Amino acid sequence: MNSARLRTCHYERLESDWYHAEIPLSLQSYLSLYNPTGVEPVPNSALINNNANTTFQFVPGKTYRLRIISMTALALFHFYIDGHVMDIIEVDGTDVNRQTVTSLVVATAQRYSVLVQAKNQTTTNYLMHADMDPMMFDAVPPTLNPTNVIYSANAPFLPTPPGDWSSVDDTTLVPVIPEGTAPPDNSYTLTADFQVYDDGINHGAFNNLPFQFPKTPSLFTELSMGTLATDPAVYGPNSGAIVLKYLNMIQIVLNNNDVGHHPFHLHGHKFQVIGRSDGLYNSSNPYPEPANPIRRDTVQVPAGGNVVIRFRADNPGVWLYVFSFPPSFNTPLPPFNVTCRLLYYLTPRSLHCHIQWHMEAGLAMPFIEAPERAQARIHLPQVFLDQCRELNINPMGNAAGNNGTDFSGLQSGPQMIVEFGSRAYGALAACVISAVIGMGTVIWYAKEDKIKKVE
């Protein structure tokens, strides 16, 4: 552990975006036929520690550890303190060698710890900034009130210069405890994109398959299907599930084909970031193997860019995968108690965009990790099974609660719009011919009129 952390005062700083409208209503508008371009709802304001006027009291000369946690649904923050520098010492729970920065980019679900040395004076107070990046919004929100660092309640604030958003590339941070890379046993290429599907709604998807919630929670399917649990098909035609073998080194090549940045989060693991760059990944020019790559669980992928991550599939078991409410192309759940609501959303490891709106739109994919080991280790309490049955949720079987690959009763998810076929091309040709004939007829009649007038 970085020994400097033991001699500091601590502040938690929770950054969140605040929507004044109820989320279910905003979600209904977002996932609708009237929003074909997928414009996300924009927050009305930002909060620090759930407050609009948070202040942090600094004692001159002391060192403070600020634990910065992004709890946003959409916003990306640029964090900095006027007149101060910061030392990054931790990223998503991974201790890293000190890196001095003047500002920090914090995407949704990311966490950082920084050390800030207080000044040896009490004559001036300083503004602590959490600037929302307007590139994340289709409409730029109003200017937000900054959060303050107070040395003395009676002191004036230092005038704020223009914001400096320059920051370190987080993939260059070096973990304190080294961990080298290993060649992958399996590599999967995922392409994230948004487009309108056959239900007329703009969905997010990995490899053109929007994630759809199953009737039977994926964890129950993994634990109840025996040897069939290793077959990705049993988790549903709209899950995109990938089954991982125990202890295999897994590589994920993630191409972001969207025009916006996305913070991708993996449950149950800290992954190594092998490389990240603009443009789609070129397999003929792979990233060089880093000696001690950064390990974290949420990575920001630039618009039109890519990232390559690796992790060891050494963690079979239960993980919570919670959406606030089901996507609109599913039947809404009936009201029930908290335990059973969490039960419904249980799933094995999953990769998803941590922007809440994009998760709801289908940008998620479950990893089914080591089913045989999970079946041997995990035994669900009887009360869980009883609650599901009371709600007519089958706690056993495939995604539809049936045997094998019988998915009768499972609502079909959105599908890609079929491109032009022979009939469509024929119809287009007929339209073009009709247009040409029509234009020719108009021109012919116009010439006839001129000839008659001359005569």
Report the DSSP beta bridge partners of residue 55: 148
pLDDT tens for each residue of 193-241:
999 999 999 999 999 999 998 899 888 999 999 999 999 999 999 999 9
Rounded mean pLDDT of 278-285? 97
Q: Please state which of the ranges 14-23, 140-149, 158-167, 320-329 shows the lowest mean pLDDT.
A: 320-329
Tokens of 324: 């606030």
| 154 has pLDDT over 80 | no
Q: Are 80 and 112 spatial neighbours (Cβ–Cβ below 8 Å)?
A: no
**Predicted TM-score of the model (pTM):** 0.84
Q: 187-390, what's its fold? A: Immunoglobulin-like (2.60.40)
Say yes or no: do domains 3-172 and 187-390 share a fold: yes
Q: Which of 93-107, 387-401, 422-436 has the lowest mean pLDDT?
A: 422-436
Q: Are 192 and 38 in contact (CB under 8 A)?
A: no
Radius of gyration of the chain (CA): 27
Name the residue with tokens 């941070």. Answer: 173
Contact 234, 228 (CB under 8 A): yes
- pLDDT of 340 > 60? The answer is no
Give the contacts of 237 (CB within 8 A, at least 6 positions apart). 399, 407, 410, 412, 413
Identity at 337, one-letter amino acid code: N
At 337, the pLDDT band (50, 70, 90 cuts) reads very low
Query: Is-contact 72 108, C-beta < 8 A?
Result: yes
Examine the pLDDT at 284 and tell me if it is beyond 60: yes
Q: Which fold has domain 3-172?
A: Immunoglobulin-like (2.60.40)
Mean pLDDT of the chain: 85
Average pLDDT over residues 353-359: 91
**What are the residue ranges spanned by the domains of the chain?**
3-172, 187-390, 425-455
Give yes or no for a contact between 74 and 38, defined as CB atoms under 8 angstroms apart.
no
pLDDT band at 328 (very low <50, low <70, confident <90, very high): very low
Is pLDDT above 50 for 276? yes
* Listed range (134-138, 345-349, 400-404, 429-433) with the worst mean pLDDT: 345-349
**Residues 273 and 307: beta-carbon distance below 8 Å:** yes
Specify the higher pLDDT residue, 300 or 442.
Answer: 300
For residue 440, name the pLDDT band (cuts at 50, 70, 90): confident
Question: For the residues 270-290, what does the mean pLDDT come to?
Answer: 98
pLDDT in tens, 378-393: 888 898 888 888 888 8
pLDDT at residue 323 greater than cutoff 80: no
Confidence of residue 277 (pLDDT cuts 50, 70, 90): very high
pLDDT for the residue numbered 3 = 45
Task: Classify residue 87 by its DSSP letter.
Answer: E
Task: Give the model's pLDDT for residue 291.
Answer: 98
CB atoms within 10 A of CB 325: 13
- Give SS3 for 2: coil
Average pLDDT of span 167-183: 97
pLDDT of residue 442: 77
List alpha helices for 305-394, DSSP H.
338-344, 356-360, 371-377, 382-390
